[in-house]
Structure 1
Amino acid sequence: METKLTFDEIKEKQQLLQDNNYAQKALAILEKNNGKLDTNFNQLWHKKNAPLEAFSPSGKSFWKVTLEVLRQELCGDEGFRAQFKEYTKNPGSAPLLRGLIVSIVTISGLPIDPAIATIIVLYILKIGLNIFCEYTATV
């Protein structure tokens, strides 16, 4: 199942993060790709790093592998859970949203730039942290 943001959700986040170049970059590509989070992730990763095929000789989705690795780091991190909960109580807070993006970059231990972290945060916000943790445990 493909997870997408609506045009209105993209516009809302563009407005909220209007002063963040990395988020605007991610949201512009997301808008171009009709809100498809995995497609956006793939494009940003390819621009920043190398073709995904180089990382996935088995054909396993790099998006899914990344989410599985992040699950190990995020789902047990009470600090991230607290930040996530705080943002969901106040979804209009740009500083709280930026904090989630920074947390993904620092907690993950992966070479993720802030634009890619933005996509991951938007994905987790779209489906919810508990669903993310449960879903990635079974994929």
Structure 2
Amino acid sequence: MTLQLSPTELQDIQQVLQDFAPAQPAIATLQQHDGNLETSLEDLVAAEAGAAVYGDERKTLRQAFVRNLRREICGDDSFRARVEEYNKNPGKAALLTGLIVYLIDLVTLPINPAIATIVVLWVLKLGIRTFCDYTEPVEGQED
């Protein structure tokens, strides 16, 4: 499944986050990849790792990052409540930036605001329950 923001969704996010400077690298990466959330996340995670990562290594790095991130956010009721609150009031910049900042504070992984922005948009695109189910490791897969 390719997770992609439509041009309209990307434009809406740009407008909502226009005054939130930490999200601008995420928006630029999303624009570069035509709204593709997974490819944008791969780019940002690889850049954060500080190493040249190519091909399958990029996917493996993203998968490991998402697997670890999933452990932390899917069981956090406060994160879930914040996602649901934003979904009731989409387009509210304060709620969206608050969700991004909360994610940065929540996880023990090193996560910069651009990565957190992509993750939050991914969760919002799928829905928190679907994100948690979609990223759940396949039985027999090492966790």
TM-score, normalised to structure 1's length? 0.88
Q: Are the structure 2 counterparts of residues 67 and 48 from structure 1 closer, same or farther at C-alpha, using a change threshold of 3 Å? A: closer
In structure 2, runs of 5+ residues without a counterpart are 139-143
Separation in structure 1 between the aligned mates of residue 137 and residue 49 of structure 2, nearest angstrom: 28
Write the deviation string for residues 79-120 of structure 1: whole angstroms up to 9, x where unpaired: 111111100000121111111111221111111100110001
Structure 2 counterpart of 1:91, which letter?
Answer: P
Q: Is 1:99 equivalent to 2:98 in the alignment?
A: yes
Partner of 1:22: 22
Separation in structure 1 between the aligned mates of residue 59 and residue 47 of structure 2, nearest angstrom: 20
In structure 1, runs of 5+ residues without a counterpart are none
* 1:6-45 pair list within 5 angstroms: 6-45=6-45
**The residue matched to 2:18 in structure 1 has which SS?**
coil
Partner of 1:109: 108
Separation in structure 2 between the aligned mates of residue 52 and residue 91 of structure 1, nearest angstrom: 37
Q: Is the 8 A contact 2:12 2:91 kept in 1?
A: no
Separation in structure 2 between the aligned mates of residue 83 and residue 52 of structure 1, nearest angstrom: 35
Partner of 2:141: none
CA shift for structure 1 position 64: 1.9
Partner of 1:72: 71
Partner of 1:128: 127
Q: Are the structure 2 counterparts of residues 75 and 52 from structure 1 closer, same or farther at C-alpha, using a change threshold of 3 Å? A: farther
CA RMSD of aligned residues (A): 2.0
CA shift for structure 1 position 7: 1.1
Identity %: 43
